[in-house]
Structure 1
Amino acid sequence: MKKRLLSTLLVAVLAGAMLAGCGKSESESGGSSSTSEEQGSSEGGSSDEKKEVIKIGIRADMVNQLESVRAKIEGLGYTVEESVFDDSVQPDVALAEGSLDMNWYQHGPYLESYNAENGTDLVMIEPKTFYPLFAMYSDKWDSVDKLPDGATIGLCNDATNQARGLNMLQSQGLIELDEAVEVPTMYDVKENPHNFEFIEAEMSVLPQSLGDADAICLAAGHMVNAGLSAEGYLCQSDDNDVYAVGFAVRSEDKDAKWAKEIAEAVQCDELAEYFKTEKAGTQIPCWE
């Protein structure tokens, strides 16, 4: 009798343990599924996901630009939350880490360089917004054709903008560059039929050379920053589409409806007027 009772109790204990184990396993399985969903959500989810708040990163010098189109973006049903940065690196860091949905301050070559150096996969979406005017200025001559032999030409001392200046001179038929060099410097001028003399300076101080040089090549915004007019340039760069500024997103959002809607919405009269007045025409709308 005692043995039979002991056996019955033992079976009951084992059965209870097995049921408890099954219940725990299902709970763990359900928790795992929930965690997976949460991870999917934290990684941005589908590009078609409905978004109500758009977190946009900008540089400090673009605060007014964003404000000029805020009503256009929010008119689509989105709420804009901006994050303002003092440099050109941190907005990409924040975007790659997921604390931003998009940023708006850089051109394609810069973004490509950032991706290559940091192993990121950020993408600039279409349509792009504007390009910074890059041109040749002179207070001695009123056309490229009048530049004399032996003229002194001022170039930027950073690699990207010096190459832009030289390529602009080449597109005008004034010099010929070494085709084997992807980012040419003034030492890569293969043919210089007019015997131009090249000098270089940091772009923000290059306008100070205007009185000494026959012409200078730089982004027009720095003319305005120096208190000079950005109008009356001798010629402008023909690679503006390459250096156009647009919205950057993570690769999984490159086809997102919300991203494209915003990129299209900012191509508006309000932004064109902002470029004309506050930027003194140094930023050219891509849609005009």
Structure 2
Amino acid sequence: MKKKVLSMFLVMAMAGTLLVGCGGGSDESSADGSGESGSSEEKTTVKIGIRADMVDQLESVRDEIEALGYTVEESVFDDSVQPDVALAEGSLDMNWYQHEPYMQSYNAENGTDLVMIEPKTFYPLFAMYSDKWESVDEIPDGATIGLCNDATNQARGLNMLESQGLITLDDSVESPTMYDIAENPHDFQFIEAEMSVLPQSLKDADAICLAAGHMVNAGLPADNYLCQSDDNETYAVGFVVRSEDKDAEWAKEIAEAVQCDDLAEYFKTDKAGTQIPCWE
């Protein structure tokens, strides 16, 4: 009799453990944003990663996002790499600071599967600046040219130089670096720096090539450039998510909500027209 009672208790305990295990799995699925928890009806907090220079931009559209019923929790980073690291690791729901070629380059180098969602937000003006020369034709032989140190924006700067007839690139290379310059008739010397700090090289270099917004961030004028890139639409900035969230309704709602008058006014005033809204 005692053996029968003991057996019954063991069976009941095992059943209870299995039920608890099933319940715990369901809770964990909701907590990590998988399955139905990613729907707009159930998602209440959205963790968005931004660079430090985009804090005010996010604030300008916070009301539009939170009007959808989401609470925004921002994470601010000092460089252009860590927001993608954090997103890929799962500590963010999305980030908002990069263009698609940069994202694709990051994916290729790190084996990640980040996706930019539609609609995109703005086109960043990319240009060449100098405080020594007033036109491209004035740049002397042997001049020092500052380039971004990330692969995508360095390629963009080099393509701009080629479009101005200053250099010739190896046309077999899809994303050229300064080591892929086939012809350098003016014997330019090239230096590299992170794009956010490149404006500090302006006093030492003859010219620098970068996104115009970083000139504004450095307190420098952005409208007196020597030339600008002709590929702005290719480099439109938008929200980036992990591949499993590329069709999430909450992500699309946020991308659409920021296309608003408040953000357009922010681009016009705070960014001095260096960021062009995609919807205008």
TM-score, length-scaled by structure 1: 0.79
Task: Name which of structure 1's ranges 35-44 and 72-81 shifts more when overlaid on structure 2.
Answer: 35-44
Q: Distance in 2 between matches of 1:150 and 1:74?
A: 54
**Bigger mean CA deviation after superposition, 59-68 or 113-122:** 113-122
Q: Which residue of 2 aligns with 1:4?
A: none
Say if 1:221 and 1:199 are closer, same or farther in 2 by CA, change over 3 A. farther
User: Residue 15 of structure 2 aligns to a residue in which SS?
Assistant: helix
User: Structure 1 stretch 180-189 or stretch 241-250: which is displaced more?
Assistant: 180-189
What is the rounded CA distance, in whole Å, between the counterparts of 1:260 and 1:109 in structure 2?
20
Give the AA of the match of 1:199: Q
Q: Which one of 77, 81, 95 corresponds to residue 103 of structure 1?
A: 95
Distance 1:81 1:22 in 2: 46
Distance in 2 between the 1:100 and 1:226 partners?
28
Aligned to 2:202: 207
- Determine whether 1:41 maps to 2:30: yes
1:156 to 147, 154, 159: 147
The 3 A distance-change label for structure 1 pair 70 and 23 is same
Q: Secondary structure at the match of 1:181?
A: coil
SS for the counterpart of 1:55 is strand
Asked if 2 retains the 8 angstrom alpha-carbon contact of 1:55 and 1:101, the reply is yes
Corresponding residue of 1:198? 188
SS in 2 for 1:80: strand
Contact 1:128 1:244 in 2 (8 A): yes
8 Å Cα contact 1:60/1:86 also seen in 2: yes
* 8 Å contact from structure 1 (residues 186, 198) kept in 2: no
**Structure 1 residue 66: Cα displacement:** 0.8
How far apart, CA to CA, are the structure 2 residues paired with 1:82 and 1:277?
Answer: 23
Distance 1:55 1:185 in 2: 34
Which structure 2 residue ranges, 5 or more long, are not aligned? none
| Alignment pair present for 1:71 and 2:60 | no
Q: How does 1:160-179 map to 2 (within 5 A)?
A: 160=151, 161-173=153-165, 175-179=167-171
Shift of 1:227: 4.6
Task: Tell me what 1:235 maps to.
Answer: 227
Count of residue correspondences: 270
Q: CA deviation at 1:261?
A: 0.5
* Percent identical residues: 64
Equivalent of 1:52 in 40, 44, 48: 44
State the shift of 1:32 in Å. 2.0
For 1:47-85, what per-residue CA distance to the aligned partner results, in whole angstroms no more than 9, with x for missing partners?
Answer: 325212222222222111111001111121222222223
Shift of 1:225: 4.7
2:126–2:229 Cα contact (<8 Å) kept: yes
| Cα separation, 1, equivalents of 2:9 and 2:228 | 77
Instruction: Within 5 Å, give how 1:1-288 maps onto structure 2.
Output: 12-46=1-35, 47-48=38-39, 50-137=42-129, 140-141=133-134, 152=143, 154-156=145-147, 158=149, 160=151, 161-173=153-165, 175-191=167-183, 195-201=185-191, 202=193, 203-208=198-203, 213=206, 216-225=208-217, 227-288=219-280
Moved more, 250-259 or 101-110: 101-110
Shift of residue 264, structure 1, vs aligned partner? 0.9
Alpha-carbon deviations, 1:119-173, whole Å to 9, x = none?
A: 433322222212321113467455x6x5689594724162533321221133345
Distance 2:142 2:226 in 1: 14
Q: Residues 148 and 67 of structure 1: is their aligned pair in 2 closer, same or farther, counting only changes over 3 Å?
A: closer
User: Structure 1 residues 141, 177: CA separation in 2 closer, same or farther (over 3 Å shift)?
Assistant: same
Match of 1:6 in 2: none
Distance 1:186 1:60, change over 3 A: closer
Q: CA RMSD in A?
A: 2.9
Structure 2 Cα separation of the partners of residues 87 and 187 of structure 1: 24
One-letter code of the match for 1:42? Answer: A
For residues 192-218 of structure 1, give each alpha carbon's deviation from its aligned partner in whole angstroms, at most 9, with x where no partner exists. 6xx3342334422343257xx4x5433
Q: 1:155 to 1:252 in 2, by over 3 A?
A: same
Q: Decide whether the 8 Å contact of 1:130 with 1:245 is kept in 2.
A: yes
